[in-house]
Each structure stands twice: as structure tokens, then as C-alpha cells.
Amino acid sequence: MSKVFCGIDWAERHHDVALVDEHGELVAKRRIHETVEGWQQLLDMMAAAGDTAEDPIPVAIETPRGLLVAALRASSRPVYAINPMAVSRYRDRHSVSRSKSDHADAMVLANILRTDAHVHRALPADTELARAIAVLARAQQDATWRRTKASNELRSLLREYYPAFLDAFINRKDYLTSSDARAILAVAPTPAAGAKLSKARIAAALRRGGRQRGIDALAAEIQQALRVPHLRQPSMIEDAMGTTALALLATLNTECANVAQLGEACAQAFTQHPDYQIITSFPGLGDLTGARVLAELGDDRARFTDARAVKAYAGSAPVTRASGRSISITHRRVKNDRLAAAGWVWAFVAATNSPHAREHYKRRREVHADRHAAALRHLFNRLIGCLHQCLTTRQLYDETKAFPTRNPTLA
């Protein structure tokens, strides 16, 4: 029986399925819905085309997530998530018109596997625990970004009418996202209300926010800062801005709670994974940062052939382009943005706390004249290569092996 390939054009309301053989001839086509009946129709359709447990038909689809993709992965068949931009380029091989057809796109997806499956990567066979960690880690990272966005919006508004409040917390940990700042802003959203606050009311607000120590001294400092004279908006405008600030504060409170809740759930799941001890043995990788790295790398060790593939995926490896006599070496822009963001934090903390990592960073800055970002990216490149080696060989991080000593003072 000839080899058959499946392409599924994904949409919210329905999915178009096309099966083609090894010669590119259409074997079957159908439109299904994301229901139990639709799933059974897909299975029957592929079974009639020769699908078996020993030789499953590979599937190409434009998304790596969703109920249909989850069902396909649970059936232990190879699933290829093809970027929609790549599908658009392949579409031009079959038609010069710019018109789009769901059925034609399903056939394009099937033909991509027929001709170029070797240059595409199937979805990794990660464990259920690793995929659950990925859901929690990405949600926590999104909540952190939303918290930063809400904090910046609130800060921009406060700058326009309430600089005394910003001055009161500018040098304190977590700034506007701290529970102290949010508790005080809730009871004094305007400069007029802030100037009238007594020490007792400030102390009560700090206690409601969760502070347990140094309350009286902090209350006196905040009271003094809020009573420093500043330029003021007209009273009606000031009250309107105060109401707006309370609305933004509600959003910030929600995101702060989400970050804490998701972070706790993510760390708890991460500690149960077999790779936990290896990942957290690296400097700069704690429960949350380590969970983010595991979420993007997964635990399917066959996913990456070598450390170079991991570095390219993370965006830490440079890109070399040569054309004639022109050669350019630049940093990689097409990458896993979540892993790159986690790697930036990882490298920064490692350069701060690890002597060998700090020496590596300083050497890139002083000897190779790298800028800060380039030096951190180079350090991340070294660390993630070491992580791949440690995960493959199942050994803990050894700093003396990761950074052969060049400075006698570190020996």
C-alpha cells in the first residue's frame, strides 16, 4: 500500500481534512468539526486509507495546540505543526493566484509532508507532566508581563498628578507592585487624600497589605513623603485621575495575585519532575526560571539532535550569512521568545552569583569588547549548551567543567 499523508486546515468552526498519496493524488477529503463525532469521522477516514497503529498516517496542521491536536498526539501519531507563513509560501508552488481555499490549504499541508517532511520537526513526545508545567509556566510568564504592563500604566498616570506617591516608594523593593504601595494607594488615590492620612491609618493599611515588621517607622516615612509640596492638578481633574488610578490598581492587584498563585502552582509541579535536580543545580535557575526553561525545551531528549540545535532554538547562537565577499554575523531574531526571555534572566543572575560565569561575562566585555546584551547572550549560549549535556547524560552541573579556569584566582 502506498504511503498516505494527512493535511488539516484548522479553523475555529470546522476543519478541512485532505489525504494524499505518495504521488500527490487526492485519496479522500472531508470537513469535520471539533467534536467526538468529528474525531471519529477523521479516524474512520484515515483507517480507510490504511492507517494502522504500527504505521500511522502523519498529520500536518497549522497549530500546535487545541483539542484536535491533543487528540492526535494522544493517538501516538506524528503531528507536524507547520507555520502558517510557511504554508503560504508552499501555496505559491501550486497556484499563482492569491485566492485562499480551505480544501486547497489542506492539500498543501499534506503535500508538505509528502515532499519536505525531513525539514520539518514533529511535535515532541513530552510527558504529560512536562506539558502541564509548560501550561503553568507560560501562564505565569504572561501574568508577569501583564503585571509589568499594568504597573507601567499606573506609574504613567501617577506621574501626571501624584508625584509625591511615586517619591514615597521609588526606592523600595518592587516599587508599585509591592503590597505596601498598593495598600496605601487604595486609601489615598489623590494628593489631597494622601496629605490628610494619619500615621495610624497608614499603619492600618500596611497591616492589611500584609506587612508585619517596621510598620510605625515606615508609616512615618510615608506620611512625610506624601505631605511634601508638589504641583497639583485642578481638584476635579485630580479626583477624576484618582478614580482612574483605582481602576488601574484593581487590574494590578489581580495580576499580582495571578503571578503569585500561578508561580506557586508552577513551582509545585516542577519539583515533581525528574529533571528538577539537574536544572536547579545551574546557577541562576530557580523554581520559576527553571520551570520556564523546561517548559520550552520539554523532556523529549530526541527533540534536539545536539547542543547546537538547542542554542539555535533559544536564539543564543549567532547567525552567519555569506554572499560573495560579504560575510555578516548577527544575533538570531527568529527564536523561541519565551526561552530567550528566561535565558536573559538566567544569564544575568548567573553572572551576578557565579564566580566562573561572572569571569566569562567580564572576559566577553573586556577582551572581546561585547556590549552588555551580547555578553549575556554569549553566557546564556554557554549555559544552555551545558544544560543540554547534563540532561542528556543525567548529571548535575559542575562549574569547573562548564568554565575551564583561566583566571588563577578562581582556581
**Contacts of 407 by beta carbon, 8 Å cutoff, 6+ apart:** 359
- Alpha-helical runs (H) found in 271-407: 276-280, 287-297, 307-314, 337-353, 355-366, 372-393, 399-402
Nearest to 410 by CA among 359, 363, 353, 351: 359
**Where do we find the cell 506621574?**
159
Give pLDDT, residue 411.
43
For the chain, which ranges sit under pLDDT 70? 1-2, 96-99, 405-411
DSSP 78-99: -EEE--HHHHHHHHHHH-SS--
Nearest to 124 by CA among 91, 70, 78: 78
Strand-strand pairing, 79-81 and 59-61: parallel
Give pLDDT, residue 1.
53
What is the C-alpha to C-alpha distance for residues 296 and 313, in angstroms, rounded to an integer?
10
Q: How many CA atoms lie within 13 A of 383 on its CB side?
A: 36
**b/e for 164-194, b at 16 or more Cβ within 10 A?**
bbbebbeeeeeebbbebbbbbbbebbbbebb
What is the C-alpha to C-alpha distance for residues 30 and 103, in angstroms, rounded to an integer?
9
- 342: buried, middle or exposed (CB in 10 Å: 19+, 13-18, 0-12)? buried
- 138: buried, middle or exposed (CB in 10 Å: 19+, 13-18, 0-12)? middle
The domain ranges of the chain are 4-119, 132-268, 277-410
CB 27 within 8 A of CB 19: yes
Q: Angle at Cα 154 formed by Cα 152 and Cα 160, nearest 5°?
A: 105
Across the beta sheet with 79-81, the strand order is: 26-32, 15-21, 4-9, 59-61, 79-81
CB 74 within 8 A of CB 67: no
**b/e for 17-45, b at 16 or more Cβ within 10 A?**
bbbbbeeeeebebbbbebeeebbebbeeb
Give pLDDT, residue 405.
67
Give pLDDT, residue 408.
47
CB 107 within 8 A of CB 18: yes
**Where do we find the cell 487545541?**
66
Nearest to 59 by CA among 94, 25, 18: 18
CB 59 within 8 A of CB 79: yes
Instruction: Give the residues across from 9 on adjacent strands.
Output: 16
The CATH H-level superfamily of 4-119 is ATPase, nucleotide binding domain (3.30.420.40)
pLDDT tens-place string over residues 334-383: 899 999 999 999 999 999 999 999 999 999 999 999 999 999 999 999 99
